[in-house]
Amino acid sequence: MAVFSKLTQDRFQRFRRIKRAWYSFLILSALFILSLFSELICNDKPYVLSYQGKLYFPIFQFYPEKEFGGKYLTEADYVSLRESSDFKDGKNWMILPPIPHNPLHSYIDLSGTPPHPPSAKHLLGTDSSARDVFARLLYGFRICMLFSLILAAISTLFGILIGGVQGYFGGVVDMVMQRLIEIWSSLPFLYVVILVGTIYSRSFMILILVLSLFQWIGLSYYMRGEFLKIRNLNYVKVAKTMGMSNGHILFRQILPNGLTPVITLLPFQIIGGIGALTALDFLGFGLQPPTPSWGELLSQGLNNLFAPWLAISTVVCLFTTLLLATFIGEGVREAFDPRASTN
């Protein structure tokens, strides 16, 4: 028995036939899934460490420096450990991830003044704090994607709820809520971010909550229009005649048939989330340092024009991600176009 309706299956097959969108979806999904395991791909902590005949698993468990001959109970510095004469002289060994760099670690042992140019050890060089650029790009990609996905989910929920109530009830309810939305949308978004960031720390969830207060407005207009159109259809009138509650009609009768704007706008909401976070980080109003951030790398590139690898690598990553998301969005919009052929 089919889980999805015939119309949904037709739309999905139509989306798959749009090769540019389908391959973009596969590539972006694969990159995002890989980024979820960044600690296993790019990390200066070994998978396995053998020290004085004893096995350790630092990537999965905390070990103090004292465990390896140090003096303190803070976490061991495995970069310094593997370079120490004590570690090299004994029968000690470690298995490191493919890219043995941490996005927060400053490699101050490198010769010269940071930022350092690309080399065999640091493929994309280091930033102005001697941190590996590739590691910060990888972890920054994960943060961007998670940020935009969570923001899109919250904004979609608000947009459906508010726009649906406006469109379903109409009249005075619609007029009052529309005026309130117009007032709210006129608030200077950047000032709100600065104000909230001054009162509270600019954490991941605080920024999501602030942006979600504004991100839903555009979607609510589309949902309002859908609900205004659908509420006059015969099956909705029959549901009202049968005495069904407004909540049941809203979410069980109208909403499933009015989700087209939600699905078609979702990729572009993700694009907006990535762009918003990058812009805020670039301006210094985003995530707190030293959180890996594409916007912060762009800012470093602007301040260090003699180190073009900072800006070029970040722009390439940002452009590629936004391009893939745009292709997906165009494919979804075309697949859900009622004028498109189902053949």
Give the model confidence (pLDDT) of 182-214 as tens digits.
999 998 888 888 888 888 888 899 999 999 999
pLDDT score recorded for residue 343: 47
Query: Residue 2: helix, strand or coil by DSSP?
Result: coil
3-state percent breakdown (helix, strand, coil) of the chain, nearest 5: 65, 5, 30
Alpha-carbon distance 20 to 22, whole Å? 6
Give the mean model confidence (pLDDT) for residues 134-162: 95
Give residue-wise pLDDT tens across range 28-70: 999 999 999 999 999 999 999 998 889 999 999 999 998 888 8
Query: Residue 69: helix, strand or coil by DSSP?
Result: coil
Q: Cβ distance 50 to 78 under 8 Å? A: no
Q: What angle do CA 324, 330, 332 make, to 5 degrees?
A: 100
pLDDT score recorded for residue 7: 76
Helix (H) or strand (E) holding 51: strand 48-51
What does the block give as tokens for 290?
């030293």
pLDDT score recorded for residue 2: 47
Question: Which of left, alpha, beta for 319 (phi over 0: left; psi -120 to 50: alpha)?
Answer: alpha
- Cβ atoms < 10 Å from Cβ of 147: 23
Give residue-wise pLDDT tens across range 88-119: 777 889 999 999 999 999 988 888 899 999 99
pLDDT score recorded for residue 79: 86
Q: Cβ distance 104 to 38 under 8 Å? A: no
Query: Residue 94: helix, strand or coil by DSSP?
Result: strand
pLDDT score recorded for residue 1: 36
Mean pLDDT over all residues of the chain?
A: 90
Helices (H), 90-233: 133-169, 171-185, 189-199, 204-215, 217-230
* b/e sequence 35-60, b meaning 16+ C-beta within 10 Å: beebeeebbbbbeebebeeeebebbe
Give residue-wise pLDDT tens across range 250-302: 888 888 888 888 888 999 999 999 999 999 999 999 999 899 999 999 999 99
pLDDT score recorded for residue 128: 93
**Where does CATH 1.10.3720.10 sit in the chain?**
6-36+135-335
Specify the CATH number of the domain 6-36+135-335: 1.10.3720.10
pLDDT score recorded for residue 253: 85
Q: CB under 8 Å to 195, separation ≥6 — which residues?
A: none
CA distances from 224 to 7, 153, 164, 169, 178 (A): 23, 18, 5, 10, 10
* Choice between 8 and 179, residue whose per-residue pLDDT is larger: 179
